[in-house]
Structure 1
Amino acid sequence: MSSDSPNTNVERLRIPRTIWALGFVSLFMDLSSELVHSLLPVFLVTTLGASALTVGVIEGIAESTAMFVKIFSGAISDFIGRRKGLMLLGYGLAALTKPLFPLAHSVEVVFTARFLDRIGKGIRGAPRDALVADVSPPEIRGACFGLRQSMDTVGAVLGPALAILLMLWLADIQLVLWVAVIPAAIAVTLIVTGVKEPVHAPSEHKFRSPIHWRALLDFSSGYWWVVVIGGVFTLARFSEAFLVLRAQQLGFSATWTPLVMVVMALFYTLSAYPAGWLSDRISRTKLLVVGMGLLILADLVLAQSSFAITMMLGVALWGLHMGFSQGILASLVADKAPGKLKGTAFGIFNLVSGVCMLIASVLAGWLWQSIGSDSTFVVGALLASTALLLLLLKSQ
């Protein structure tokens, strides 16, 4: 009879090589993407002469497209029984778009690149997470998911930080954007050489849509409350591109505007773990209230900021709100959905969130251009307050 305890067995288990490879894939691709995204709003406005409304339309369509594609990519991955091929398609498509940004001499080319890049993101997310689940020993599955997400976050911080260093050295946005091609190519190479997937038996089932419309009547009122609250909250969460534009408006040079993304990512990272720890000990609704409150504060500070220090305080609060709200709504969806209809529940939630994400960024751009930048953040605060009020009414 073995004297080994379960804890000892868990400690002996090692994180599989494929998980490490996926972690580095996420790190390098996020580094590449965030390097581009931290400079793109300024590039669009100053170099290509785009308006704030145009930035909002581009960001809204791009991010909502990723959400829509994500609805179906997981179902397709389950149907074909292969994860790596879809991952390679998603990451490869994103990598191929990177040279388009420095080559762009028109807004239309940037829009095409962002659109294809986000399609790639939508394709790769679900099969990547499914592959993590496939190859992770059950005893350390949480650690495996945590490792990949942590390395993704490291890339989100390093990308804009590298953008600042390169701008100090090269002082040319288009030259700096070329550098983003390198980590994207490394990410794709790592998928080809380092990612191994277990052999799956061919699927014996026909492809089924992840959204079963006939089942809509089976959902409780609690679920629909979460969908409505999530939709209104998403309306308040317009693209972070407007944070970068706010920094430029307050006098930040193109070299230093990526600092906004560094600060936001750092505070998101610092708050995500404590928020996750708290979610196991207090109600998720209370955590979401905190997240919404932080977003309201962030918007109000950003609306009133006239100095760099107050603007950075608003950006820090924005990052904290992400840490306290990211994933909480998804958890509430899982809590409220019937066991056999969780796929449909998330499909509907992502569909509504995608539509609201598009509306949010287009509305933010229109307000910025038509009334003024302050109005974008004031309206964001009002929408977040509406979501908070709905959440408090639901919890009573």
Structure 2
Amino acid sequence: MAIIVALAIFFLLAQVFFLEKRKSVMKNKYLKGVSANVLLLGVVSFLNDLSSEMIMPILPMFITALGGVWVVGLVGGLRDSISSILKVFSGFWSDRTGKRKVFVSSGYLTSAIFKLFLAFSQVWLHVLLFSSAERVGKGLRTAPRDAIIADSMPEARGKGFGIHRALDTSGAIAGSVIVLLLLLFFWFDLEQKAYQIGFYKSIIFIAAIIAFFSLVPLHFVKEGKREPQEIRLQISLKKLPKQLKLFIVVATLFALANFTYMFFILKAMDAFMPIMPVKESIALAILLYVLFNTFYALLAIPFGTLSDRIGRREVLIFGYFLFSVTCLGFAFFDSLAAFIVLFPLYGVVYAMIDGNQRAFVSDLSTEDLRATALGSFHTVIGLVALPASLTAGILWQTISPNATFIYGSVISFIAVVLFLIFRDYFKD
């Protein structure tokens, strides 16, 4: 574990050296056509997501070890909902004060602090509390950070968001791989519950330390001067353009289908448990999750660039449809061969929709309300994350795991149909 911390410190120092050697480039704002702010925020997200994804693959098992199996779905939905409730407020205050970076910095610091608290959880309720509180930081930072990205590359927002999401997801891959290696090489006795809990806490503690490192590259982000805006909080979305409001309706319907990815991991684990030991089942499920994140990272930039060329609508429509197909696959197939295909498809879906939804919101909003628009979008989408995951969990327990994925497939397909009906109403 000391090796992991050493590697993180080495990466951090290397990054600082990289920045110091290129101060002239930073002043010019662009490096080979890519905004320095986008690259820096990408590095911040890389480190932060490395930290987060050391935690998320083991979080369902950590909750289970503490005796709260039924809370897995609740944690997944509540985390996103809490963060999203705050996004509209942070976006609003960012626009109103003309400040972006202070909200971004506060958000990353808050997340790091509560990750550290999470490492000292004693019961599943602590996990629920600290894990949800950690998402407060995400709520503070996301809309202002996305506004910085959108403003830094106004002529190529799809590419900018794609680069950021690729670095973010690359951190997720690194974090998941680290957990997998620790599981394979340091977990000697899976049957001892006390050892399991101690192992999980050690991983979370290391992840928290790495999260604090992510604050250093953020220091080099250059925020442009912005005048404060005399605006009021627009929770009703009334001042947002009609096209944007309609897209939020479509995206919200899709979000109802897009339940927490923990269910995808649990589906794989349930399939493997009857045919192999527990340790190998967990390791293989995490490996498939790494495969998901790998495809997500590899394709985020290409799909962002593609949306700049052919339009966000076409990419998003196909992404929604592919999610529907992927859910059907998870509903009706549970072999290792099937999962080797389905988890990459799941990664392709996220590569197509995650950054491009944000870019599309930026396209459909005005500059003075961009952070508010992004915050409103994230909030509305996030508010349905809790009912989406709770519904998925109820279907899982009362009917079958397959019912969960059929639900996701049907709802996302309805979103595709609605998007197609109003396709010509949107303009890129």
1:231 and 1:352 in contact (8 A); partners too: yes
Match of residue 162 from structure 1: 178
Map residues 1-396 of structure 1 onto 2, 5 A cutoff: 22-45=41-64, 47-52=65-70, 54-80=71-97, 83-129=100-146, 148-171=164-187, 172=196, 174-189=198-213, 191-192=215-216, 195-196=219-220, 208-211=231-234, 213=236, 215=238, 219-220=241-242, 222-251=243-272, 253-337=281-365, 342=370, 345-395=373-423
**Distance of aligned partners of 1:192 and 1:80 in 2 relative to their CA distance in 1, 3 Å threshold:** farther
- Name the SS for the 2:309 alignment partner: coil
CA distance in 1, matches of 2:369, 2:40: 32
Shift of 1:383: 0.4
**Counterpart code for 1:226:** F
Shift of 1:359: 1.3
- Name the SS for the 1:49 alignment partner: coil
Shift of 1:260: 3.0
**TM-score for the superposition, normalised by structure 2:** 0.77
- Name the SS for the 1:103 alignment partner: coil
Once the two structures are superposed, residues 241-288 of structure 1 have per-residue CA deviations (whole angstroms, 9 ceiling, x without a partner) of 101111211125233332232111111122222322321332432222
**Counterpart code for 2:262:** A
Once the two structures are superposed, residues 97-130 of structure 1 have per-residue CA deviations (whole angstroms, 9 ceiling, x without a partner) of 2234443232211111111111111112234445
Q: Which deviates further from its counterpart, 364-373 or 313-322?
A: 313-322
Once the two structures are superposed, residues 345-396 of structure 1 have per-residue CA deviations (whole angstroms, 9 ceiling, x without a partner) of 4444333212222211111111111111110001110101111111222237
CA distance in 2, matches of 1:219, 1:21: 31
1:167 and 1:173 in contact (8 A); partners too: no
1:298 and 1:314 in contact (8 A); partners too: yes
Shift of 1:12: 7.8
**Distance of aligned partners of 1:187 and 1:15 in 2 relative to their CA distance in 1, 3 Å threshold:** farther
CA distance in 2, matches of 1:99, 1:324: 33
CA distance in 1, matches of 2:356, 2:32: 32
- Name the SS for the 1:239 alignment partner: coil
Q: Which runs of 5+ in 2 are unaligned?
A: 1-28, 188-195, 274-280
Shift of 1:299: 0.6
Shift of 1:36: 0.4
**Distance of aligned partners of 1:184 and 1:145 in 2 relative to their CA distance in 1, 3 Å threshold:** farther
Q: Which deviates further from its counterpart, 314-323 or 23-32?
A: 23-32
CA distance in 1, matches of 2:400, 2:203: 34
CA distance in 1, matches of 2:373, 2:154: 25
- Name the SS for the 2:272 alignment partner: coil
- Name the SS for the 2:56 alignment partner: helix
**Counterpart code for 1:225:** L
Shift of 1:49: 3.0
* Count of aligned positions: 382
Shift of 1:331: 4.0
CA distance in 1, matches of 2:375, 2:31: 37
Q: Which deviates further from its counterpart, 318-327 or 195-204?
A: 195-204
1:84 and 1:195 in contact (8 A); partners too: no
CA distance in 2, matches of 1:292, 1:12: 32
1:264 and 1:316 in contact (8 A); partners too: yes
**Distance of aligned partners of 1:289 and 1:103 in 2 relative to their CA distance in 1, 3 Å threshold:** same
1:36 and 1:177 in contact (8 A); partners too: no
1:21 and 1:191 in contact (8 A); partners too: no
Q: Which deviates further from its counterpart, 384-393 or 371-380?
A: 384-393
1:13 and 1:140 in contact (8 A); partners too: no
Q: Which runs of 5+ in 1 are unaligned?
A: 1-8
CA distance in 1, matches of 2:184, 2:161: 36
**Distance of aligned partners of 1:87 and 1:281 in 2 relative to their CA distance in 1, 3 Å threshold:** closer
Shift of 1:203: 6.5
Shift of 1:223: 3.8
- Name the SS for the 1:375 alignment partner: helix
CA distance in 1, matches of 2:153, 2:369: 26
2:51 and 2:175 in contact (8 A); partners too: yes
